Amino acid sequence: MSTTTLPAKRRGLDYKKFLANNGALVGLVVLCLALFIATPDFLTAQNLLNIGIQVSTVAVLAFGMTFVIVAGGIDLSVGAVAALSAMSSGWMFASAGLPGWLALLGGLFIGALAGTINGLANAYGKLPSFIATLAMLSVARGLTLVISDGRPIKMPAEVSFLGGSLGPVPMPIIILVLAALAASFLLNRTVIGRSMYAVGGNAEAARLSGLPVKRILVTVFALAGLFAALAGLLLAGRLDSAQPQAAAGYELDAIAAVVIGGASLAGGLGKISGTFVGALVLVVIRNGLNLLNVTSFWQQVVIGLVIALAVGIDVLRRKTRSS
Amino acid sequence: MSQQALVTLQNVGKTFGPVTVIKDVTVSVYAGQVQVLLGENGAGKSTLIKMMAGVYQPDAGHIVVDGQTVTLPTTRAAEDLGIATIHQELNLVPTMSIAENVMLGRMPTKHGLVDRSALRNRARAALALIGLDVDVDTLVGDLGIARQQLVEIAKALSINARILILDEPTAALTRHETESLFAVMADLRRRGVGMLFISHHLDEIAEVGDTVTVLRDGEFIAEVPASTPEDDLVKLMVGRSIEDQFPRVTGDVSQASAILTVDNLTSTGSFSDISFSVKAGEILGIAGLVGAGRTELIRAIAGADRYTSGTVAVRGRHLPNGSIQAAIAAGIGHVPEDRKGQGLVLDASVNDNLGYATLASTAKLGLVDFAGQRSRAGEVATKLRIRMHTIDQPIGALSGGNQQKAVFGRWIIAASTVLLLDEPTRGVDVGAKVEIYELMNAITAAGGAILMVSSELPEILGMSDRILVMRDGRLAGELTAAEATQDAVMTLAARDVDENHEQR
Ligand SMILES: Nc1ncnc2c1ncn2[C@@H]1O[C@H](COP(=O)(O)OP(=O)(O)OP(=O)(O)O)[C@@H](O)[C@H]1O
Ligand SMILES: [Mg+2]
């Protein structure tokens, strides 16, 4: 009775496995094909660039959310933190007179700081992440209004550059790719990234194995805050100004993207590539419905159904795999 | 046997994806009899009984109840036919009370509301059957693993089944509670209940069983009477004989220095004033009843819980209170009592689970050493003979005993020199146990020290060089390997124990 290694799976099964593990990707392809057939406006360079720009904000937010969800938590504050970071950046530039590049870094710092506070409240203050980040949502949105007095603030050129183009390629798309690579590297290659899966899968087992669970949680939320800040700056760069109500409700899009991408809200599962596909699914559906002249009211209904469908399929898939 | 079986699995088979787990096995349960299932870890015992319990459906063969072929699509369908199951892994809701767990799905109601007093009374009656004396309003999550197991047993007993399946019910119990369970089983047998019993404790087989079905690699090997000598059972089960069940090789430790020193350790409410030391090359066993504070003591030493006062030192260096990382850095490795809840990340791969303790220490610039981690995990998996399909499969799909080996393997990889073992061989088969014992020998021979809590007295007696006995959170005495007998240990562990237990 030695270690039993059974013969590897037959090749024929592989495409089935691929389908089962990449349901969201298959859905995305089908969706794109359908839109391609339904409207000539879909497959144009302009529309695809539009989709790229729109997905950048959602995806960058969702990358940060992926860390949190993999580690078994949830972050409701990312939209508000994105707005606060952009607004702080604008304030540092316009009111405090800091140089633009410093204001940009300052904005990122504020996001990471807000995330760190979430993490401290969750890991050390023992607040459930749902509650800690719900409180942060309110605080961050409130502070954004306080700083701006409810009015938009002009962004420095360095931030506006993030919303511009490098040659023919929009900057948000470049940032998106860089953020995806960084997030995926972090999650897959680093000790802290691999530890997130352990903490989300079974925090007590992770702790007893010597993983610094509390520090990991603080880092996870700090990263989510940092990515939220980046998303906020992207958005502000595009509009050339920080809006007090920017990114309101985006946390739900981010959570939806992560979950459509195959992560489990119970923790321990999730991938950056999945999240990216999840974000694309959301944005392409919105884009397609716009092209087809569906009102935004109905769009909300459709998006809700898509989330329920995607997660429902996923749950079914896991059930059939485990029995 | 001319009598009709209550339930028969007839030539059943089961596959998971490409893996065939059960091949053409037939087993029956008769009224008033205890059918024992015997086999190594991963032989397919749990998979087999899950088909009887309605958890899995057989891919081949069929199930016959009272002479009628039936399908059991759900656990509810099995219960409706009078089949109750105590699963190997606990299925309790930690955030609900004992009473609610025992009556889960069968809450007594009055005017459409839960009848709380009936709920409590029925639960109390169920607990009384197995002699578990705790408040039924206690949350299950606040109980230790042994008491949770007793709650699980009470839950199954309260169903009044005709057929009771018990998958390793005694793995988490001490002799004392095991005997209460056997008394209940004897009573059920007189009342004509048919039982299917699984255990890796061979001595229990002759005690409660009638016939034994032996499985190996998912195949039927033999059916023999339960009175078959243990050595023959082992041979049927593993295909070879095992010379020595407890192959302890003791070195001379009289000159050795103490590696682990515990001084006046106290944790209010759990244990108090515990002092001892473990020398290089020594295995120190800790015996005691459930609730004596053994697990709490081990956890405090490991840094998993904070203690109130006292000190813990490794090689003369004091460890900070409540720091797991410091303990690991000093060479401590902790195998916790509950592998599912505290030992493993079930959704993660075998590879990942083996590597958690060395994830950070082997990393370069914060990057995981994937190749190194993988080769170390592969080596240990082979060394411990962990049975798996691939090292990348989720560890939750491994059989219980193989999961236990993986928790152990993590500390082998970490090269721990002070092992704190809390029920290290719970649910591990005889062959694999010997392999784990050999590993313990190798660790002590290399100058390591082992502190072992076990509820299995033969294991404590067979593997320890010295034995501490705990009672009610205090050290009740110390015995050398030469002095220690079951009687001597039990006398110290439970002064008020009744005649019955002292005679064993
Ligand atoms: N859901 C599953 N998916 C894939 N393989 C499984 C699954 N459940 C069990 N197996 C495999 O089937 C085999 C038999 O497992 P089973 O749990 O029945 O063993 P067992 O005899 O009860 O062992 P133990 O004594 O360790 O409890 C093991 O090799 C296990 O890895
Ligand atoms: Mg089993």
Taking CA atoms, B173 is separated from A138, B288, B293, in Å, by 50, 11, 15
Amino acid sitting at position B17: G
Among the listed residues B275, B287, B270, the one whose alpha carbon sits nearest the alpha carbon of residue B494: B287
Instruction: Tell me the backbone φ, ψ of residue A250, rounded to 5 degrees.
Output: -65, -25
The interface predicted TM-score (ipTM) is 0.84
- Structure tokens given for A192: 């802290």
A149 at interface of B, judged by CB pairs closer than 8 A: no
Q: What is the pLDDT of residues B62-83, one digit of tens each?
A: 999 999 999 999 988 998 899 9
DSSP alpha helix (H) spans, B171-323? 175-190, 202-208, 230-238, 294-302
Decide if A3 and B56 are in contact by the 8 Å CB cutoff: no
- Asked whether residue B400 carries a pLDDT value surpassing 90, the answer given is no
Q: How far apart are CA B149 and CA A157, in angstroms?
A: 66
Q: Which residues of A touch B386 (CB under 8 A)?
A: 3
Q: Which residues of A touch B56 (CB under 8 A)?
A: 323
Decide if A194 and B238 are in contact by the 8 Å CB cutoff: no
For chain B, state the CA radius of gyration. Answer: 23
Three-class secondary structure assignment of A178-195: HHHHHHHHHHHHEHHHHH
Decide if B352 and A6 are in contact by the 8 Å CB cutoff: no
Which stretches does DSSP call E strand in B2-112? 7-16, 19-29, 34-38, 60-65, 68-70, 83-86, 109-110
Distance of residue A107 Cα from the nearest chain B Cα, in angstroms? 26
Q: How far apart are CA B308 and CA B367, in angstroms?
A: 38
- Asked whether residue B453 carries a pLDDT value surpassing 80, the answer given is yes
Q: SS3 for A171?
A: helix
pLDDT for res B455: 87
Asked if A216 contacts A71 with a C-beta cutoff of 8 angstroms, the reply is yes
Ligand 1 atom closest to Cα of B47?
A: 18
Residue B47 Cα to ligand 1 midpoint, Å, equals: 6
Q: SS3 for B264?
A: strand
Q: How far apart are CA A24 and CA A311, in angstroms?
A: 10
Q: Which residues of B touch A209 (CB under 8 A)?
A: 356-357, 410
Give the closest of A198, A208, A210 to B336, CB-based.
Answer: A208
Asked if A123 contacts A97 with a C-beta cutoff of 8 angstroms, the reply is no
pLDDT for res B495: 65
Q: Classify strands B109-110 and B113-114 as parallel, antiparallel or unpaired.
A: antiparallel
Contacts of B256 (CB under 8 A, 6+ apart): B279, B280, B281, B282
Q: Which residues pair with A170 in a beta bridge?
A: A165
Distance of residue A189 Cα from the nearest chain B Cα, in angstroms? 6
Give the closest of A192, A197, A208 to B304, CB-based.
Answer: A208
- Asked whether residue B9 carries a pLDDT value surpassing 90, the answer given is yes
Q: How far apart are CA A83 and CA A114, in angstroms?
A: 12
- DSSP designation for B97: B
A182 at interface of B, judged by CB pairs closer than 8 A: no
Decide if B336 and A192 are in contact by the 8 Å CB cutoff: no
pLDDT for res A16: 63
Residue B199 CA: which ligand is closest? 1
Q: How far apart are CA A174 and CA A156, in angstroms?
A: 19
Q: SS3 for B183?
A: helix
Most B CBs within 10 Å, among A124, A209, A215, to test the B interface: A209
**∠ CA B234-B238-B242, rounded to 5°:** 55
Decide if B385 and A2 are in contact by the 8 Å CB cutoff: yes
Q: Which residues of A touch B54 (CB under 8 A)?
A: none
Q: What is the pLDDT of residues B144-198, one digit of tens each?
A: 888 888 898 889 888 888 999 999 999 888 888 888 889 989 989 998 999 999 9
Q: How far apart are CA A242 and CA A250, in angstroms?
A: 15
Name the pTM for this structure: 0.85
- DSSP designation for B113: E
Amino acid sitting at position B78: A
Decide if A194 and B368 are in contact by the 8 Å CB cutoff: yes
Query: 10 Å Cβ neighbour count for A227?
Result: 32
Residues, beta carbon < 5 Å, ion ligand 2: B 46, 88, 400
Distance of residue B493 Cα from the nearest chain A Cα, in angstroms? 28
pLDDT > 70: what percent of chain B?
98
A317 at interface of B, judged by CB pairs closer than 8 A: no
Q: How far apart are CA A33 and CA A37, in angstroms?
A: 6
Residue A1 Cα to ligand 2 midpoint, Å, equals: 17
- Structure tokens given for B298: 């081990």
Q: Which residue has the tokens 């562990």?
A: B493
Among the listed residues B250, B241, B230, the one whose alpha carbon sits nearest the alpha carbon of residue B462: B250
Residue B427 CA: which ligand is closest? 1
Asked if A271 contacts A263 with a C-beta cutoff of 8 angstroms, the reply is yes
A157 at interface of B, judged by CB pairs closer than 8 A: no
Element (H, E) at A311: helix A296-322
Q: How far apart are CA B499 and CA B434, in angstroms?
A: 32
Q: Whose CA is nearest to atom 8 of ligand 1?
A: B397
Q: How far apart are CA A234 and CA B98, in angstroms?
A: 53
Q: How many residues does chain A have?
A: 323
> Which residue in chain A is spatially nearest to B365 when comparing CA positions?
A190
Q: Counting Cβ atoms within 10 Å, is residue A126 exposed (0-12), middle (13-18) or buried (19+)?
A: exposed
Amino acid sitting at position A15: Y
Among the listed residues B23, B17, B12, B15, the one whose alpha carbon sits nearest the alpha carbon of residue B53: B12
- Structure tokens given for A24: 């969201």
For chain A, state the CA radius of gyration. Answer: 20
Among the listed residues B15, B7, B1, B23, the one whose alpha carbon sits nearest the alpha carbon of residue B69: B7
- Structure tokens given for A259: 């979950």
**Among residues 269-308 of chain A, which lie with CB inside 8 Å of chain B?**
269
Higher pLDDT, A224 or B425: A224
Give the closest of B324, B348, B387 to A207, CB-based.
Answer: B324
Instruction: Tell me the backbone φ, ψ of residue B103, rounded to 5 degrees.
Output: -100, 15
Q: Which residues of B touch A (CB under 8 A)?
A: 17-19, 40, 42, 56, 217, 238-239, 302, 304, 324-325, 328, 334, 336, 341-348, 352, 356-357, 359-360, 363, 366-368, 381-382, 385-390, 397, 410, 431
Q: Whose CA is nearest to atom 28 of ligand 1?
A: B42
Asked if A307 contacts A259 with a C-beta cutoff of 8 angstroms, the reply is yes
Q: How far apart are CA B398 and CA B386, in angstroms?
A: 9
Q: SS3 for A108?
A: helix
Decide if B368 and A210 are in contact by the 8 Å CB cutoff: no
pLDDT for res B497: 44
Element (H, E) at A121: helix A100-123
Among the listed residues B23, B438, B26, B431, the one whose alpha carbon sits nearest the alpha carbon of residue B235: B431
Decide if B324 and A208 are in contact by the 8 Å CB cutoff: yes
- DSSP designation for B341: I
- Structure tokens given for A99: 């140089």
Distance of residue B85 Cα from the nearest chain A Cα, in angstroms? 18
Check residue B82 and give left, alpha or beta (phi > 0: left; psi -120 to 50: alpha).
Answer: left
pLDDT in tens, chain A (323 residues): 344 444 444 444 566 666 666 778 888 999 999 999 999 999 999 999 999 999 999 999 999 999 999 999 999 999 999 999 999 999 999 999 999 999 999 999 999 999 999 999 999 999 999 999 999 999 999 999 999 999 999 999 999 999 889 888 999 999 999 999 999 999 999 999 999 999 999 999 999 999 999 999 999 999 999 999 999 999 999 999 999 999 999 999 999 999 999 898 889 999 999 999 999 999 999 999 999 999 989 988 998 898 888 778 777 766 655 44
A21 at interface of B, judged by CB pairs closer than 8 A: no
Among the listed residues B300, B254, B316, B236, the one whose alpha carbon sits nearest the alpha carbon of residue B43: B236
- Asked whether residue B496 carries a pLDDT value surpassing 60, the answer given is no
Q: Which residues line ligand 1 (CB under 6 A)?
A: A 322; B 16, 19, 21, 39, 41-47, 88, 387, 397-402, 427, 429
Q: Which residue has the tokens 């691939």?
A: B390
Among the listed residues B301, B254, B295, the one whose alpha carbon sits nearest the alpha carbon of residue B276: B301
Decide if A209 and B357 are in contact by the 8 Å CB cutoff: yes
Q: What is the pLDDT of residues B358-374, one digit of tens each?
A: 999 999 999 999 999 99
Q: Which residues pair with B367 in a beta bridge?
A: A190, B364
Q: Whose CA is nearest to atom 24 of ligand 1?
A: B41
Residue B55 Cα to ligand 2 midpoint, Å, equals: 14
Q: Counting Cβ atoms within 10 Å, is residue A248 exposed (0-12), middle (13-18) or buried (19+)?
A: middle
Give the closest of B40, B348, B386 to A197, CB-based.
Answer: B348
Asked if B45 contacts B81 with a C-beta cutoff of 8 angstroms, the reply is no
Distance of residue A236 Cα from the nearest chain B Cα, in angstroms? 33
Q: Which residues of A touch B18 (CB under 8 A)?
A: 6-7, 9-10, 13
Taking CA atoms, B70 is separated from B13, B51, B58, in Å, by 16, 12, 12
A268 at interface of B, judged by CB pairs closer than 8 A: yes
Q: Which residues pair with B314 in a beta bridge?
A: B260, B317
